[in-house]
């Protein structure tokens, strides 16, 4: 169970702060049912209620600083997703986004980057679906890494490139 004050990641909401754990008997009709009251960092006015008994299936703790540096340091070892069936490409992208796992986001970012390079070499444009999921994965990844290490989201792309260039050694 998460605690008040914890930072968690929720699909489609990003990083959220657990403001409270509350009863909402008028919603569920069960006076004993508890809910996490989440406030997304991206919108401090929004409130999201998640049943505590479903918390582990829809939430995960936000990365710590060390975990974020580990992800950054391991980016070059994370493999691009191997998507054989073109018809299942969007489904694979959706699953990676829904997983809320930074390694999955990196994997599909790499996949889409490689695919984009190949298409450009063939004189083709990047597909709209690839572009949409690429930006979504980048947004989730950069937002969480920036939050965890106390940097600005706009610094993440260059920081990652610099870290990879230095052989994965962190630049705290």
H or E element in which residue 157 lies: helix 156-165
CA angle (107, 109, 111) in 5-degree steps: 70
CA distances from 149 to 66, 72, 142 (A): 8, 11, 11
DSSP-assigned states of every residue in 102-133:
HHHHHHHHHHHHHHHHHHHHTT-PPPHHHHHH
pLDDT score recorded for residue 147: 97
- pLDDT confidence of residue 1: 87
Give the model's pLDDT for residue 169.
58
pTM: 0.86
* Residue 27 confidence (pLDDT): 56
Task: Name residues whose C-beta falls within 8 Å of residue 153's C-beta, 6 or more positions apart in sequence.
Answer: 142, 143, 146
| Helix (H/G/I), strand (E/B), else coil: 34 | strand
Q: What is the DSSP string of 36-76?
A: EEEEETT-TT--EEEEGGGHHHHEEEPPPHHHHHHHHHHGG
Q: What is the pLDDT along the chain (172 residues), one digit of tens a residue?
A: 899 999 999 988 999 999 999 987 655 566 778 999 999 999 989 999 999 998 888 999 999 999 999 999 999 999 998 888 878 889 999 999 999 999 999 999 999 988 888 888 999 988 888 899 999 999 999 999 999 999 999 999 999 988 877 765 555 5
Alpha-carbon distance of 151 to 55, in angstroms, equals: 28
CA quadruple 43, 47, 48, 53: dihedral sign: positive
CB 141 within 8 A of CB 68: no
Question: What's the pLDDT at 2?
Answer: 95
């Amino acid at each position: 169970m998460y605690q008040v004050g914890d930072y968690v990641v929720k699909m489609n909401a990003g990083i959220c702060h657990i403001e409270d754990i509350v009863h909402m008997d008028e919603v569920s009709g069960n006076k004993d049912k508890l809910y996490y009251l989440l406030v997304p960092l991206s919108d401090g006015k929004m409130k999201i209620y998640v049943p505590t008994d479903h918390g582990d299936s829809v939430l995960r703790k936000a990365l710590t600083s060390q975990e974020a540096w580990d992800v950054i340091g391991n980016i070059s070892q994370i493999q691009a997703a191997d998507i054989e069936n073109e018809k299942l490409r969007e489904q694979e992208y959706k699953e990676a986004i829904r997983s809320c796992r930074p390694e999955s986001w990196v994997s599909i970012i790499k996949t889409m980057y490689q695919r984009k390079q190949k298409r450009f070499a063939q004189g083709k444009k990047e597909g709209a679906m690839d572009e949409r999921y690429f930006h979504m994965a980048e947004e989730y990844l950069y937002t969480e890494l920036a939050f965890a290490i106390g940097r600005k989201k706009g610094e993440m792309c260059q920081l990652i490139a610099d870290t990879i260039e230095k052989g994965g050694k962190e630049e705290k």
